[in-house]
Chains A and B, each alone.
Chain A
Amino acid sequence: MGRKQVWKRTLTLASSAAVLTAGLAGCTNKVEKITTCIAEQNYDEALDFYRAKVKDKDREELAEALRAIVLELPERFAADEIDYEQARRTLDTIEAMHLGTLSEDLLVVRAKIQALNTSKQAWLTAEQAYADGDWLTAAESYRRVDPLDPHYDDAVEKIEQSFAEYEAEVLAQVDELTAGDNYDAAISLLQEAIPNLEDAAALETRLEEVTAAAEEFRLAAARRAALEEAEAEASNGNLEAALGILERFQTESGDSNAELQAVHDQYVEDYVNQMLPQLLALMDRGDYVEALEMLEHARQVAEAEEFDALLADLEAVRPVYLSDLRPEDRDRFEEIKTGLDPKDTAGNSYRIASGNLFQLNATNGSWTSEPGMVEYVLNGSYSRLCGVVAVSDESDSVTSELTIEGDGEVLYTLPLSVSTEPTTVSVDISTVNSLKIQLAVPGNEGKLIAILSGFYLEK
């Protein structure tokens, strides 16, 4: 049965009912005329007829007939028996008749018709978006389908389908991006997609996986870079730098990669092989202070059993240097650790790198006259004090005197001037508890600087 046929049949029934109720043929004819005009979409004719023919006494009967038409409109519009324009014109025409008892129904029905119209548009938009693969627009439009709409159940189902399609599409894109190591884009895509879904568990799980994979990818790239940088240093013989690069990378990244560890271990072995001959040569020459300094540095660079063993050997054979002791008191006494190597007045240089190198300063000036001194507590632990005393070339042409005292008793005296040659000192200190080395105030105005090199204490 066609839609218009249904509409005509309904109007006929409504007209018949009006006839039976009113019992007045004249009135019934007027009502029938108007309802027929409306059914046939002759709205202007219906309104003209109403204005020309309908009297006050007819209005009640007419209102009842039209109410039935109005109340059926939403259902008929929802069923696509009439279109939106037909429904709107029907309502406008009836409203123009100013039948007061219908005004509330007109308002309610007009609102329903509009809502249904919006729903119909949403359905159409959603269907198009779905067909185009625009899943989020489709889902959003399906959501706007009204429960009165006959597509409502379909819309509810299609919402789920749209989200499922969207999720599948995002995951496919993520797979494609990660396959190309484009982890940042994949993470961004997932982070943007997750808020769009009510249930984003699958995407969240994937985000965790991709984030972990990205981290591993970056770590691997950084590891490769560190290994390459370290290899470049190692190939130039700079194993200390190579080890520094790898250890810094391991510390900062927490990476425990086996390949990296293997390379690190190899560099340690190479470094040990590089350092041992140098350390042994220093020890053979008796440069124990420099050997110890180098060894301590090497142990900082790499942990190796060979270094520990060598340290034990070194400690066993080396004497106690003055630089090993902590002065109890001192004045104008300095250990030379930086700057140019000092020279004596005979032109000899004293290597700072060898360590255990000191200067005692004494001055006689118009402002101050100050001796130099240093004092150690030995507690009778040593038998001899040995070393070389020289006069620094920074000294003025003055005379002074170096004295070594044990417990207040002068054990050794050495007159000093710019013409003094380097002098080897060997003093018995076997019973000395307190050792004092003193440089007297020069006899005339100026300063004298005594260099103390290689001083050691025999047990």
Chain B
Amino acid sequence: MSLLGRIRSSLETYGHPGRDSFEYLGLTVRDGELVSYRVYENPTPGVAEELRGRLPYRLLLGSLLSRFAAAGGVRVCDISESLAGTRERFRLVFTLDRSLSHADVELLLEAFFENLTLPAIAGALRRDAGALARRFDMSIQPLQQIGVETDIHANVRIVKYYLNLTLDTGRRRVCDRGFIDHLKNAFEVNLEPQAGSLLEIAKHRYRPVFVGINQDAESCERKLYFKSDAFGRQIEHVLPMSESLAERLGWEQVVSKEDLRALHELGLYLEGIASTLGRKDEWRLYFAYLPRWRIPGS
């Protein structure tokens, strides 16, 4: 099935009225090729309740993360399952209130890691968050989401955390040379090969909003997430920007201008872009619904 055919099919599954759980369509592009395709779903209340009954979530919420999950300022934002190859993966991510203080977050992290026995990852998280806050001179703590991905037995395979990059006022920063230098120094990663692409994204009015980090026992993957600066009625003008970006960053082999226009006709626009830090040609493209749009005819 063509990419557009798959997308249409996904929209019919996730976007119908009554089960309007579609959040994002995510395309991972590596070296100019499509390597994965995923629909991000907001779990509807029924689905979320059903998932909570599954063993990994019972273990996570009932014992492993019970103190953390019950704490004030914490709420579940993603509860989902997926396949990694032939193995099921269970994902549970929490959102932290932006108003929490550094001290509050430190207490929450102690609660989060107390039963996971992942001291190295806990240390890495504290180091990343601290470095980011220092480099970007943040007075508000940067951790906005934290979660895990487990196997069927609730063995944690990956710890995920998302560090906010917005200003203390909630407004977004601009990705310029200084921003890239701060990011490079905070994470001690070589961003020079991809600096030009990041600046190109910024030129097309996408602004950095957070860094998403996947830590497992062996490796660490960091992604810088950009979100379109357009809001309200300006979103209608994102299409030419995304067409230009596709051409400049070499995504056209995967998502041509015609595809982008067809997606626009389906009511989708390129709202977010993630760039894997340290990998020049790895991107994830996030398509969201345009305002007022749903499946045509629904």
Contact = CB atoms under 8 A, between A and B. Distances in A.
A336 B231 CA distance: 12
Given A339-B233, A449-B232, A370 B210 contact: no
Interface in B15-63: 23
A348 B278 CA distance: 51
Given A366-B145, A367-B209, A441-B170, A334 B233 contact: yes
Contacts, number: 45
A92 B272 CA distance: 108
B87 interface: no
Interface residues of B, number: 22
Interface in B163-180: 166, 170-172
Interface in A386-431: 394
Interface string B73-104: 00001100000000000000001001000000
Interface in A103-119: none
A334 B98 contact: no
B58 to A, nearest CB: 24
B170 A371 contact: yes
Interface residues of A, number: 19
Given A394-B292, A445-B77, A370 B98 contact: no
A366 B77 CA distance: 7
B233 A336 contact: yes
A445 B21 CA distance: 13
A161 interface: no
Contacts of A363: 231
Given A367-B225, A368-B227, A359 B232 contact: yes
Interface in A307-333: 331-332
B72 interface: no
Contact of B231 (A334, A339, A369): A334
A35 interface: no
Given A394-B292, A445-B77, A367 B272 contact: yes
B219 interface: no
A370 B225 contact: no
A162 B196 CA distance: 82
A361 interface: yes
Contacts of B227: 367-368
Contacts of B236: 339
Contacts of B240: none
A332 B272 CA distance: 17
Most central of A331, A359, A366, A445 by chain B CB within 10 Å:
A366
Contact of B98 (A359, A361, A369): A369
B209 A366 contact: no
A179 to B, nearest CB: 60
Nearest to B166: A368
Interface in B239-276: 272
B291 interface: yes
B234 interface: yes
Contacts of B291: 394
Nearest to A331: B171
Contacts of B232: 332, 334, 359, 361, 449
A443 to B, nearest CB: 11
B78 to A, nearest CB: 7
Interface of B: 23, 77-78, 95, 98, 145, 166, 170-172, 209-210, 225, 227, 231-234, 236, 272, 291-292
27 contacts: A331-B171, A332-B231, A334-B231, A334-B232, A334-B233, A334-B234, A336-B233, A338-B233, A339-B236, A359-B233, A363-B231, A366-B23, A367-B209, A367-B210, A367-B227, A367-B272, A368-B166, A368-B209, A368-B227, A369-B98, A370-B166, A370-B170, A370-B171, A370-B172, A371-B170, A394-B292, A441-B170
8 nearest CB pairs, A to B: A368-B209, A361-B231, A334-B232, A370-B170, A394-B291, A361-B232, A332-B231, A331-B171
